[in-house]
Chains A and B, each alone.
Chain A
Amino acid sequence: MPPVTTVLIANRGEIAVRIMRTCRAMGVRTVAVYSEADADAPHVALADQAIAIGPAAARASYLDVPALLAAAHASGADAVHPGYGFLSENAAFARAVAGAGLTFIGPPPEAIAAMGDKVAARARMERAGLPVVPASGVLAPEPDAFAAAAAPIGYPVVIKAAGGGGGKGMRIVRDAAALPDAIRAAAREATAAFADGRIYLERYLERPRHVEVQVFGDRHGRIVHLGERECSIQRRHQKIVEETPSPAVGSALRAAMTDAAVRAARAVDYVGAGTVEFLLDESGRFYFLEMNTRLQVEHPVTEWTTGLDLVREQILVARGEPLSFAAITPRGHALECRLYSEDPARQFLPATGTVRVLTEPAGPGVRFDGGVARGSVVGVEYDPMLAKISTWGATREEARTRMLAALRETVLLGVVTNRDYLRAVLTHPAFVAGATHTEFLAEHLADWRSRSAPERDLAAIVAALALTSPSGDGAAALGAAPSPFATLGPWRAGSSGA
């Protein structure tokens, strides 16, 4: 059995932190890797050892396989956890890790490869008896080829990357005239995200729900599911709110979907944590979308309702041990919101800056998975997700109201975030009613602007004082003598009582 006593985490941000927490709880040593941009990042501070692997650009650091393997050897790591994104679904990386005599904490390279090629995976799943959406094969990136393929399928269609998922390289096309621009953008994004510019086309379902099933396999031939998650609230085809159970899935549908998911995993001899994604249409029919052969961003909601630690199970499976649990009985309801550095009022454009203040939410049924801390610089090189907030409740409504309280408590100053947009999603009557689908945000919140601010006048007064004060916090931060006048400025404190 492979030992897994020292794990190198080939990732950054919240997921690196989250993986390290489980490692530490299991008595496993942790090794962080970091780029020049991340020297002060929380995942570096938390690790037992941290190794610089290159410049800020991901290609030269978090995607640099030789640099990662060298760091593993230098640190004495015997296993590598890829997290999500970066190299997590790269079969060549999984092989390189194994080839270097290390344990890859993830599925076998064959399963990654089988599901990584989205076109081949569709065909394979169709043979395994899963329902799939009508689609083309890989096409030459030319309007004529796509127009010819789209004709029998019917518009709207969606152009997708064959080399990877996660919404990267996806473009919805409603008529042939829009094909040239969409093909160019999709191919370019696919190349940038997956180093694989191959694209194809499939029928675009209107207003479906995105429902996925968490599966887990061990090396003893056992493959189980851990229930579904609904992740319909998406912008730019990327999820921002997730929950389990899905408000749309009753017990009969759940049985059918989870059974299909387990069949999908079995068809590729799956081992480890994986997620089988489906689209669920308004009539209750579901279609295989893709399988993500890694830990999913939204795995905490499943952890809430099952009581399991999925990273712990991943490590047990990597060691060759059986899954730790027999049957699972999901309990209650869990929600997750992703906190992004982006401006929802301006087409979700990424925002950069320095985190000046970060107050994390806490309390019963509240979990915060963060990847930044006070002083963290949010640059343009990496994914704009800063943190995840998840909540649990006995009912969906309890989880929802806890989430609203937790979002209110989450204070991140210095970088624009989508926090208030998330609050608007959670309070929208359609969300409260569970009437969610992948067009939800476009349909209900397209014109969202920052709320009418109840204390705007007071904020203006405070801003006027802060901006005209001779002692901005810049002066204080530079370590000027701590004179009370320097810290208080021209406005003297009436009393210093708490």
Chain B
Amino acid sequence: MSLTVLVDGEPVAVTLTRTGDAIVARVGDAEYRGSIQRHGEAWRLDLGARALAATVVRDRDEVWIALAGEIYRCALATEERGEAGAGAVGSPRVTAPMPGKVLDVLVREGQQVAAGDALVILEAMKMETVASADAAGTVTRVHVAAGTMVEPGQVLVELELA
């Protein structure tokens, strides 16, 4: 089995093979041999110089891992997940940077905007944040109104770039 895992957003290629109880894993140039025991959330990894305990929980399409004092948030890499509009320069779709409520929409469809112009004001946990245009253009669609609850990554405004 070969797949790409996003570990805290960084893609890592993993190849796994199993023979009986033994696991052989390749991660980049490194090879790990040994075994993994699972008891619910408590995993025991015996794959190298030292055996390590890990706490592992699934949360929908993500898995959270506490291992050797560090916390890792992982997901499988898919084309869809590949950096979904997270602030790519010149993106025609302006997305919500955080979950929250739309306080105000500062633009109308058809309006010209410059790079950096504030488009939508969001609030979560009593904190305001502004979603701005990262390139100049014309507003073609406004998807939200004051009071709309949004999820991170949700499209707020679409632009036609100048």
> Quick one: CB contact mask for B1-21 with A, threshold 8 Å, 1 for yes?
101010110101010101001
Q: Is A255 an interface residue when CB atoms closer than 8 A count as contact?
A: no
Interface residues in B128-144 by Cβ distance below 8 A to A read 128-129
Chain A, 410-436, CB within 8 A of any chain B CB: 411-414, 416, 419-420
Contact A185 B28 (CB under 8 A): no
Are B65 and A467 in touch, CB under 8 angstroms? Answer: no
Residue of B23, B55, B98 ringed by the most chain A CB atoms within 10 A: B98
Q: For A464, list chain B residues within 8 Å (CB).
A: 1, 3, 5, 14, 16, 25
Task: Decide if B71 is an interface residue (CB 8 Å cutoff).
Answer: yes
The digit string for B58-76, where 1 denotes a CB below 8 A from any CB of A, is: 1101011111111111111
Interface string of B110-145 (1 = CB under 8 A from A): 000000001001011111110000000000000000
- Contact pick for A456, options B12, B18, B128, CB 8 Å: B12
Q: Determine if A353 and B98 form an interchain contact, defined as CB atoms under 8 angstroms apart.
A: no
Q: Which residue of B is nearest A495, CB measured?
A: B37
Q: Which secondary structure dominates chain A's binding surface?
A: mixed
B45 touches A462 (CB 8 A): yes
Residue in B64, B76, B125, B129 whose CB lies within 8 Å of A383: B125
Least CB distance from A326 to B in Å reads: 41
> Most chain-A Cβ atoms within 10 A of its Cβ — which of B3, B14, B70?
B70
Enumerate chain A residues within 8 angstroms of B5, measured Cβ to Cβ.
460, 463-464, 467
Least CB distance, A458 to chain B, in whole angstroms = 6
Once the chains bind, are A457 and B125 in contact (CB under 8 Å)?
A: no
Number of interface residues of B (CB under 8 A): 67
Interface centre among A351, A353, A465 (most CB of B within 10 A): A465
Q: In the complex, are the beta carbons of A414 and B57 less than 8 A apart?
A: yes
Q: Which of A350, A457, A474, A487 contacts B32 (CB 8 A)?
A: A457
Known: A454-B68, A458-B45, A489-B38. A380 touches B63 (CB 8 A): no
Would you call B7 and A473 a contact (CB within 8 A)?
no
CB contact between B21 and one of A188, A354, A453, A494 (< 8 Å): that residue: A494
Asked if A178 is at the interface (CB within 8 A of a chain B CB), the reply is no
| Size range of the chain A interface in the assembly | 35 or more
**Which A residues are in CB contact (< 8 Å) with B155?**
none
Cβ of B30 under 8 Å from chain A:
yes
Q: Report the minimal beta-carbon distance from B127 to chain A, rounded to whole angstroms.
A: 6
Distance A427 CA – B137 CA, assembled complex (angstroms): 45
| Listed residue (B23, B37, B118) with the most chain A CB atoms within 10 angstroms of its CB | B37
* Contact pattern, B 65-95, Cβ under 8 Å of A = 1, otherwise 0: 1111111111110000000000000000000
Complex Cα gap A359–B57 (Å): 13
B60 CB to closest chain A CB (Å) equals 8
A148 at the interface (CB under 8 A from B): no
- Assess the B54–A490 pair: CB atoms within 8 A: no
Which one of B38, B48, B65, B126 lies within 8 Å of A463 (CB-CB)?
A: B65
Are B7 and A456 in contact, CB atoms less than 8 angstroms apart? yes
Is A236's beta carbon under 8 Å from chain B? yes
Does the CB pair A357–B129 fall under 8 Å? no
User: A394-418 vs B: 1/0 string, CB under 8 Å?
Assistant: 0000000000000010011110100
Q: Are B74 and A460 in contact (CB under 8 A)?
A: yes
The DSSP consensus for interface residues of chain B is strand
B103 in contact with A188 (CB, 8 Å): yes
| A349 CB–B CB distance under 8 Å | yes
- Which residue, B10, B14, B127, has most C-beta atoms of chain A within 10 A? B127
- What residues on B are CB-neighbors of A451 within 8 Å? 70
In the complex, are the beta carbons of A416 and B128 less than 8 A apart? no
Which of B8, B63, B76, B118 has a CB less than 8 Å from the CB of A453? B8
The answer on a CB contact under 8 Å between B128 and A189 is: yes
Q: Please indicate the chain A residues that have their CB under 8 angstroms from the CB of B61 in the complex.
A: 467
Query: Of all chain A residues, which has the CB nearest B31?
Result: A457
A461–B25 CB distance below 8 A: yes
Q: Mark A443-457, 1 if CB is under 8 A from B, else 0.
A: 000000011011111
B36 at the interface (CB under 8 A from A): yes
- The contact of A458 among B67, B71, B99, B100, by CB within 8 Å, is B67
B154 at the interface (CB under 8 A from A): no
B113 to chain A, nearest CB (A): 15
Tell me the bound Cα distance from A453 to B14 in angstroms: 16
Min Cβ gap A389→B in Å is 15
- Which 4 pairs of residues, A with B, have the shortest CB-CB distance? A463-B74, A413-B64, A459-B72, A349-B98
Contacts A466-B63, A467-B5 given; 14 further ones with Cβ under 8 A?
Answer: A380-B125, A381-B125, A382-B125, A413-B57, A413-B66, A450-B8, A458-B45, A458-B67, A459-B7, A461-B36, A463-B7, A463-B74, A466-B65, A493-B37
- 21 pairs, A vs B, C-beta closer than 8 Å: A349-B129, A353-B59, A411-B66, A411-B71, A413-B55, A450-B8, A453-B72, A455-B67, A457-B12, A458-B32, A461-B16, A461-B32, A462-B56, A463-B7, A464-B16, A466-B74, A467-B5, A473-B58, A491-B36, A491-B38, A493-B37
A residues at B contact (CB < 8 Å)? 168, 181, 185, 188-189, 192-193, 236, 346-347, 349-354, 356-357, 359, 380-384, 408, 411-414, 416, 419-420, 450-451, 453-468, 472-474, 476, 487-496
